[in-house]
Amino acid sequence: MIRIEGDKDVVIVKFPYNLDYIAKIKTVKGYRWHPDRKYWSIPYSELKNLLSAFDGEKVEVDTSIWLYKLEKELMARKYSRRTVKLYLHYNEEFLRFSRKTPYQISNDDVRDYLYHLAEKKNASASTLNIAINALKFYYGEVLKRKFVYEIKRPKKDKKLPVVLSQEEFQGFYHRLPTSNTG
């Protein structure tokens, strides 16, 4: 299990005692064993190297680990709390949906997720636009990947106008104040 805990610039790594795993983690720069808590830690900047060291192993990674950089960037740019919350939500949901790391994501994964939102969750066009903005910001601005920019925006939902019946109109018309010009 790999996750961020406490000091967010440090990644916590836990696994059952295994000499092969110990050898692999010792190849990552800045590793540290914490005997009191029985876990390893590495600097966040070494996360990619950690995953490379464990390539081929079934590694469970907490999705929050991927979103740490996103949250940091949004806060640095003074985005509103609501925007931060929404961007983190849609990116976390997307990673869970795709079951991939952000570095394995493709346009097809994004399209599948947007289809899932639109068809399975019946999301509105504005919700889809928020999800697209969240994904574009993370993959484009934070991870510097350009593929997400190929995603097209959905058409706006068409809302039918409210039409009053003749009776409703008459009732409304008679309640209007009369003007006293004279």
CATH no., domain 66-148: 1.10.150.130
Give the residue from 127, 135, 146 showing the smallest Cα distance to 70. 135
Q: How far apart are CA 162 and CA 175, in angstroms?
A: 19
Q: How confident is the model at residue 10 (pLDDT cuts 50, 70, 90)?
A: confident
Q: What is each CA distance from 7 to 33, 41, 68, in whole angstroms? A: 15, 11, 11
Q: What is each CA distance from 181 to 60, 106, 129, 178, in whole angstroms? A: 77, 68, 50, 9
Q: Coil, strand, or helix at residue 115? A: helix
Query: Tens digits of per-residue pLDDT, 51-99?
Result: 899 888 888 888 888 898 899 999 999 999 999 999 999 999 999 999 8
Q: How far apart are CA 11 and CA 39, in angstroms?
A: 10
Could you tell me the fold of the domain covering 2-62? MutS, DNA mismatch repair protein, domain I (3.40.1170)
Domains in the chain: boundaries: 2-62, 66-148
Terminal alpha carbon distance of the chain = 82
Query: Tens digits of per-residue pLDDT, 111-131?
Result: 999 999 999 999 998 999 999
pLDDT at 176 exceeding the cut of 70: no
This prediction has a pTM of: 0.70
